[in-house]
Homo-oligomer: A and B are copies of this chain.
Amino acid sequence: MPDNEPMTAARTSSPADHPQPGLRERKKTKTREAIRAATYALVKEQGYDATTIDQIAERAEVSPSTVFRYFPTKEDIVLTDEQDPILLALLRSRPAREAVADTMRYVMREGARMGFDEDPDMARLRTHLMVQVPAVRSRMMESMSVLGRMLCVAIGERSGRDPDSLEVRVYTMSLLGGLMETALYWGEHGHEDDFGALLDRTLDVLEHGLSKENT
């Protein structure tokens, strides 16, 4: 088993956050990224459906079992990228008395921008797959509703309502439903629009309904 990556012996006295990962942790990270990279490449070459777990395992130089140890489903390899905590952090970074709608506008725009800046190719691939592959879209919606549950808590706090009330839940999920559709729209139109601008139009519709300017 050749170790091709130079071992960065980060042995500088580490600040509490990174308690000196240890070889095991570092290898896990590498494996995870190898699987993702392999999937990314194969999907670009052959398409999503034509890419099997066995192929991914082979290219990532791990066993198929290992792939499933790192990702619960095939869709997750493409989608997972702990964005939920980031969004929550953004949300909590806003003053509590700000109007909920304004907060969401900021959070969504900023979250999207961060996600895109970090890896534009990946962001495009994801929305592309969301458009093309039903299974990926479904998985995305599922993880969206998980995010929704967390948003409910935050929004409940801010609006002084029960996070489990129908009102908060409906508000949250309709928001996320609209955002989902925005992402799909962006993907369907070849990522030509400025996503931030789309988000603004989306939030206008969510706030004011279909009243003002039109198509």
Q: Which residues of A contact B (CB under 8 A)?
A: 100-101, 134, 137-139, 141-142, 148, 155, 159-162, 165-178, 180-182, 185, 198, 201-202, 205-207, 209-210, 214-215
Given A138-B141, A198-B166, decide whether A161 and B214 contact each other with a Cβ distance below 8 A. yes
List of B residues within 8 angstroms of A159 by Cβ: 210, 214
Cβ A182 vs Cβ B210 within 8 A: no
- Supplied contacts A148-B181, A166-B205, A172-B181, 14 more A-B pairs, CB within 8 Å: A138-B139, A138-B141, A138-B142, A159-B210, A166-B182, A167-B214, A169-B181, A170-B182, A170-B205, A173-B178, A173-B180, A174-B181, A174-B206, A177-B180
List of B residues within 8 angstroms of A161 by Cβ: 210, 214-215
Cα separation A165 to B198 with both chains bound (whole Å)? 11
> Per a CB cutoff under 8 Å, which of B141, B177, B209 touches A101?
B209
List of B residues within 8 angstroms of A166 by Cβ: 182, 185, 198, 201-202, 205
Counting every copy of the chain, the complex holds 2
> Per a CB cutoff under 8 Å, which of B134, B207, B214 touches A142?
B134
State the majority secondary structure of interface residues on A. Answer: helix
Cβ B185 vs Cβ A169 within 8 A: yes
Cβ B206 vs Cβ A207 within 8 A: no
What 9 A-B pairs come out closest when comparing CB atoms? Answer: A177-B177, A165-B215, A174-B178, A162-B215, A173-B181, A138-B138, A174-B174, A170-B178, A174-B177
Cα separation A209 to B175 with both chains bound (whole Å)? 10
User: Which of A139, A159, A209 has the largest number of chain B CB atoms within 10 A?
Assistant: A209
List of B residues within 8 angstroms of A101 by Cβ: 209
Q: Supply 12 A–B pairs (Cβ within 8 Å), ascending by A.
A: A100-B209, A141-B141, A162-B214, A166-B185, A166-B201, A171-B205, A171-B209, A171-B210, A173-B177, A173-B178, A174-B177, A174-B206
Q: How far is the CB of A194 from chain B (nearest CB, A)?
A: 12
List of B residues within 8 angstroms of A178 by Cβ: 170-171, 173-174, 177
